[in-house]
Structure 1
Amino acid sequence: MVVDLAQFKASLAGDAPASDVTPPLAGLWWAAKGDWDRAHKIVQDDDTREAAWVHAHLHRIEGDLGNASYWYRQAGQPVAKDALDVEWERITSALLGS
């Protein structure tokens, strides 16, 4: 069971995210592993605000800022302006509840 950011980051050494993580966290896990397509597939099939936030982050990684802006609005989050890795940590920490 992953409970904090350090454990989540440590889990990146594995072949798949922990079975008990939410779809948005699984998306972030695959994004950190460099599998944008897999991450995107997970969050595009989830209609939660958390998934929309991850979806926004993914489109920001892709460089599609217009699409990212749409997903930030769906998530109820401001458009991120900080470094992608900083945003990844912020979203991950928020979704882990830490």
Structure 2
Amino acid sequence: MVLRKLTEDGTGEPFEIDILTEAEKVRNRNWNIIMQMKSEHEKLTGSFTFTLLSTVKELIIDERFTDDEKTRLMFLGTYVNYQGDTYSRLQKGNGTPI
């Protein structure tokens, strides 16, 4: 980004403008396209995929379970919820433990 300091013709007051380079314009355009695609994807799927990903990451980090147990939990989790914050238990969608 190039910063230019200019003065206004009529009043002589100084002001600054930022001029984007061509590479920055391309980067910004690509970012806007990605954000638009993300927004459309979230409209379609809601925030489900993000929630699922964060839950799986938490489960992978959890060292209280073996890899086999984590695999079973992920399979069972397609049918019920896993609450790992405090209780580390399988539960129904309404929070009732199984």
TM-score bracket, normalised by the shorter chain, equals under 0.3
Question: Radius of gyration: which is bigger?
Answer: 2
Flag the structure with more relative contact order, 1 or 2, with Cα contacts below 8 A and sequence separation at least 6: 1
In proportion to residue count, which structure has more strand?
A: 2
Normalising by structure 1, we get a TM-score of: 0.25
